[in-house]
Amino acid sequence: MSNSFLELATQGIQKLTPYQPGKSVDELERELGISNSIKLASNENPLGPSALALSAIEENASSINYYPEGGYALSNKLALLHQVDPANITLGNGSNEILELVTRAFLTPQHSAVFSEYSFAVYPIVVQAVGAKAHVAKALPEDHETMPLGHDPDALLAQVDDSTRIIFIANPNNPTGTWLTPDALENLFSRIAQDVIIVLDLAYTEYMDDDVKPPLSKWLQQFPNLVVTQTFSKVYALAGLRIGYSISNPEIADILNRVRQPFNTNSLAQAAAIASLDDEEHVINSVSINNAGKAYLQHAFSEMGLRYLPTMGNFISVNVEQDGVALYQRLLQQGVIVRPVANYSMPEYLRITIGTQQQNERFIETLRQCL
């Protein structure tokens, strides 16, 4: 008998490296015996959730002895928001689960998925977990005039072949923050065969400028193979509750719901999400603070002579022109948690979540010291 249970696992799992989340404040302070740390590592909203969401959690907390409903109220709320039918909605344990559901539903070891270099780390993880092949498209070069390290539509399309069943496109992309314009995306979609599922990952869409936000209702009618994923983890600040969703044509939604686990979204998350959608002012304030913080960090980086990537997210990636992991470790010693992205083949970059002005100023001051 084998003495390694790993040998009993499927081939895709055997070679899988688990996703590594950002270090938490509690973990850092426990390790180093320090206090007053700040976390700018996981693209969380520094304002926290809406007061309406917190009230909804409190109001529903006494009912957690019951299983959650199937998401009827939230699905209907989202359908009204996006001008679609509730049958177009699939709820997920974060949008991350939707990415996994799509791969489980449409990929086998005989199929492939396409995504760009420097794309979200979960794409290769979920593809490899089902034993499928990953076709990675070259990104735009680092010296590109407008969108360094961004998605290259032609390169993505060139990776599509007869085995391809899914193409993942993050807009804006994490960890680069780069994006494709609506015209560029629509042109790309029009060149993809309808037997390839297009997963448009819009985790950060609320932070985008209005002129580059995608026309979802139009595209969902125009492209029946389109699956749009969104989350309540970012601007709505419900990351700890794990709630997200997808919008797709009813046939695809039905397929996703077949592989979705029962009760995959808990009752408190559903209630908080519904309440969050009613608090438009919270979203406006979150985006406003983010834009001000982004401008502050960009100006500070320019003053320090550091190149940074353009971003439409609530984070920014900066080239520190040295070993990013080593610099990250020095920042940790000072109680500042950011995100090294060497695992994305960006060894000289750090990704910084845009925080409050106080947090941003502390990060820049500490960065100057550590450099």
> Given a cut of 70, is residue 2 above it in pLDDT?
no
Run of H or E including 84: none
The reply to whether 103 and 61 lie within a common domain is: yes
The 10s digit of each residue's pLDDT in 112-138 is: 999 999 999 999 999 999 999 999 999
Answer yes or no: is 345 within a domain: yes
Predicted pLDDT of residue 359: 98
Answer yes or no: is 12 within a domain: no
| Contact of 19 with 121, CB cutoff 8 Å | yes
| Contact of 79 with 85, CB cutoff 8 Å | yes
Q: Which residues pair with 226 in a beta bridge?
A: 198
**Residue 343's CATH number:** 3.90.1150.10
CA distances to 21, 43, 85, 94, 248 from 228, in Å: 24, 20, 14, 13, 6
The reply to whether 286 and 263 lie within a common domain is: no
The 10s digit of each residue's pLDDT in 286-321 is: 999 999 999 999 999 999 999 999 999 999 999 999
Predicted pLDDT of residue 7: 84
The 10s digit of each residue's pLDDT in 49-68 is: 999 999 999 999 999 999 99
> How far is 92 from 263, CA to CA, in rounded Å?
10
Strands (E) across 143-243 are located at 164-170, 197-201, 226-231
Out of 261, 276, 291, a domain closes at: 276
Predicted pLDDT of residue 3: 61
Answer yes or no: is 363 within a domain: yes
Predicted pLDDT of residue 278: 97
> Token pair for residue 127?
């593809």
The reply to whether 110 and 38 lie within a common domain is: no
> Given a cut of 90, is residue 178 above it in pLDDT?
yes
pLDDT bin (cut points 50, 70, 90) of residue 22 is confident
- Which stretches within 37-162 are classed as H helix? 51-60, 72-82, 95-106, 122-129, 153-158
Reduce the secondary structure of 338-367 to three states and give it as a string: CEECHHHCCCCEEEEECCCHHHHHHHHHHH
The 10s digit of each residue's pLDDT in 101-113 is: 999 999 999 999 9
Out of 276, 297, 322, a domain closes at: 276
